[in-house]
Amino acid sequence: MSFKYDEETIVYLSRFFGKNLTSLAPLRENQDSKFVANIRKKALEKMGDAPKLQDPKLFYVGSVDYMVVKGKDQHEFVILESNGGSSRGLLSLSLDQVKIIYNAYKTAIDQSSEDKKKFVIIGSLPIDDLFQEKIMLINYLKSRYAREGVKLNFYHSLNYPPFSKNKEDITVIISDYNNLIKNLSFENQYITFKGTKVDVAIGDGIARRFPTLSSYIKRNWKSVKTTIVNTIYHVTDDKFNTYVAISLSQDVLNKYRIHPLRFGKFFKWDQLKTSLENLISSTKRNYIIKPFGGSGGAGIQPILKDTSNEQIPEIIEKSIDEFHQKFGVQRF
């Protein structure tokens, strides 16, 4: 007998286990899959062809936030940020789009090594109100591999290894980052979990929270043999890098009606305060304070053109407090 677990069922059942998962169905129902597919088709036609990754180890799942601006004759676009890359929130897309991403995860597993047996770890937030996405990903992979005669089993980090000898072809470990990181090491250029070599690691928090791995990635990501989603987290999580890349690529982006933002990066409180005061007084334009890391809108604060110098310190503190509440003081 086979069971099909849809999102609503998982969210409903979670209530009986003291969880409060958030369904993304309302967002998903507003998506037009055919419309999105057509946009993808036209975008690829305009680019000439689908982009090809030169190295299969370089795997990125993420999104780009942009703003549509009404120009004189046509709409123009401003890229706000390329997100750090996350395996959360995918179910806000139509199921056809989710399937494309889930198939990409499968491809990453298939190409990760020549070994017949694969070992995969999936990290999640300690309190993950979108945990149903991990369950549905595993269920999807299990179903796909079953059609190919490949056996996939999954475990929590606390109940692995199992008492009986595991005979699966693909082993998937799922765990919150706090428990997962305790069991990780880095040996022979591979992440290892309880001494077992990891072929694929899903969850950008692994790259950020595992200091030894982070150090290797920053020095030379190609030296890491485990396929990591997302290896380039340290690049994309810094929003400043997005703005610099857009600025440097302006000649190319102009033909796509993509225009750069005016931006600056500040490392000290006093430096930010003084710069904002000067900008407001000299340009009389609106600005936004945005932490260069993190996500979910934490710390984003508007600085309007009529903001007084006396109000600026209060707004800066509000931005910092919001960010600390979500990500902790160590990330600022």
284-294 pLDDT per residue, tens: 888 888 887 76
Q: Are residues 152 and 13 part of one domain?
A: yes
User: Within a 10 A sphere around the Cβ of 108, how many other Cβ atoms?
Assistant: 21
- pLDDT, residue 192, reads 95
Looking at every residue in the chain, the average pLDDT score rounds to 85
Residue 190 predicted with pLDDT over 90: yes
- DSSP of 217-252: HHHHGGG--SEEETTTHHHHTSHHHHHHHHHHTHHH
Question: If you average pLDDT over residues 293-322, what whole number do you get?
Answer: 86
What angle do the packed helices 95-111 and 132-147 form, to 10 degrees? 60
- pLDDT, residue 4, reads 61
Q: How far apart are CA 177 and CA 126, in angstroms?
A: 6
Question: If you average pLDDT over residues 119-131, what whole number do you get?
Answer: 90
What pTM, to 2 d.p., does this model score?
0.80
End-of-domain residue from the set 236, 257, 274:
236
* Nearest alpha-carbon partner for 62 in 210, 233, 238: 233
Question: If you average pLDDT over residues 298-314, what whole number do you get?
Answer: 89
Residue showing tokens 């600022």: 332
Q: How far apart are CA 253 and CA 261, in angstroms?
A: 13
Q: What is the span of the domain harbouring residue 305?
A: 266-331
End-of-domain residue from the set 214, 236, 258:
236
Give 37-67 pLDDT, tens digit per residue. Answer: 898 888 888 777 666 666 766 777 777 888 8
Type of residue numbered 260: P
Q: What is the length of the chain?
A: 332
Whether a cis peptide bond, with omega within 30° of 0, leads into 161 is yes
- pLDDT, residue 53, reads 63
Domain count, the chain: 2
Q: Are residues 171 and 49 part of one domain?
A: yes
* Residue 244 within a domain: no
Residue 328 predicted with pLDDT over 80: no
